[in-house]
Structure 1
Amino acid sequence: MATGTKNIKRRMTALFAIFSLCIMLLISRLFYLQIIKGPQLKQEAFEQQTRDSIISPKRGTIYDRNRKVLAQSATAETVTVSPREVAEKEDPQEVAKALSEILGLNYDDVYKKVTQNTSYVIIKKKIDKELADKIRELNFTGVNLIEDSKRYYPYGKFASHTIGFTGTDDQGLEGLEAVLDSVLAGTPGRIQ
């Protein structure tokens, strides 16, 4: 019996030592993650969870004295890619091929953008709804469409020297578009 009791005590001691070692390992790991790596991990988590996006305002409409539209902003979209997401979940060659065919862009240029080591790349700005819908149908992970606007002049070049025009960034460059830029541009919004 004494031998059986010694074996049980030995086993209990070994079990207690293993259990204590596991607890010590857990405590040391918690210490490492909370105290030593804590600030860095907190910053990484914050950056991962919050994306600060600026919402571009829709540029104002220019009317004539009879309330006919001379210049207005039409809805358009910008195609962006998150190369890291594409690399993880999609075939970059397939994504580049599909986007280049739909958007009429050079495959090699699109492939370079899709495989860059960045988190965000603009593929093409101000595409119309039809093209945007074709891209949506592809349902590629990492390919995003951001709402944008494009300036539209219903009467073409009629009174263009007076109305003026905007640049690619929707800033008025000539005519009324430039003179009234601060009024027509609006105020950008923000999503955090």
Structure 2
Amino acid sequence: MLIQPCALSGVYEITGTPHHDHRGYFTRLYDRQLWSDYGLDRTWVQENRSYSSRKGTIRGLHFQRPPCAETKVVRVSRGAILDVFVDMRRDSPSFGQWGSIELTEDNHKMIYIPRGFAHGFCTLTDHCEVTYKVDHRYTPSHEGGIVWNDETLRIDWPVSAPILSDRDARLPAWKELMGTSANDETKGRSG
């Protein structure tokens, strides 16, 4: 298992190292000691599964407000997605920046996203299954979101007319939530 920090502070790419033989392969998805060595061990309280039947589905960008904010570890068990995360931590040097990673059933990658981020993904294939662990229970009274096509963030999604839930289509813009100017130079993608 390889753990590498990403450009946005606190986000880590975790890659499984499968051991192959004539039957297929075996790989670890979690190693408490190794994750602790990187400061990533949490008390995981819930594991969720999301299934999307059609390519071009966007789910997100979702978050939970403090004190119910959650750390997530996201992986794909079937299909492929572009996973996107936005830094909402006002005291962070990457505040207002976003990053992304392609997660597939074959690349054995996961993404560790700390508290204080909005999260979403776009399916790149039909029949996608995404699982994620969280370190805080889902709390509907503290949920929030940012509209997928926010003009300030300018996320480079792989689709221009996604399949969305009614709720996700009506999410507020970054400027409404965060009160920052659309011309703020800190916004945008982080390498």
Q: In which range does the TM-score fall when normalised by the shorter chain?
A: under 0.3
Say which structure is richer in helix.
1
TM-score, with normalisation over the residues of structure 2? 0.22
Q: Please identify which structure carries the higher strand content.
A: 2
